[in-house]
Amino acid sequence: MRTTNEVDHLVVQPMIGGIDEGGQDDDANEVAIEQLRTAILSLSQKEKDVLVLYYFESKKPSEIAKILGLTIPCGTKVRRQALEHLRESIMKSLS
């Protein structure tokens, strides 16, 4: 199981790396970063693993399935669910 620091390094930092570009003020950036961090950390370990493998290690669905002991359709479903959970969490924090 990965520690929070490992998850932060592998998932959160790459996702928020460019968030401060675009002229937003520092307070807005900090809020957005914290919302994203909270959303990512709320994912299941399997969802985090799939996202890291797919988006940051550029693994194909067949490779992810083999690494995590899943079927290809299951790995794809986990990735879609993770993205939906992120969307829901971020939208909830905005309302």
pLDDT of residue 59: 97
Average pLDDT over residues 75-95: 92
pLDDT of residue 1: 46
Contacts (Cβ under 8 Å, ≥6 apart) of 10: 2, 52, 56
pLDDT tens digits along 15-65: 555 554 555 567 878 888 888 889 999 999 999 999 999 999 999 999 999
Higher pLDDT, 33 or 73: 73
Average pLDDT over residues 6-10: 55
Nearest to 4 by CA among 35, 30, 38: 38
Q: Is the alpha carbon torsion for 14, 17, 22, 26 positive or negative?
A: positive
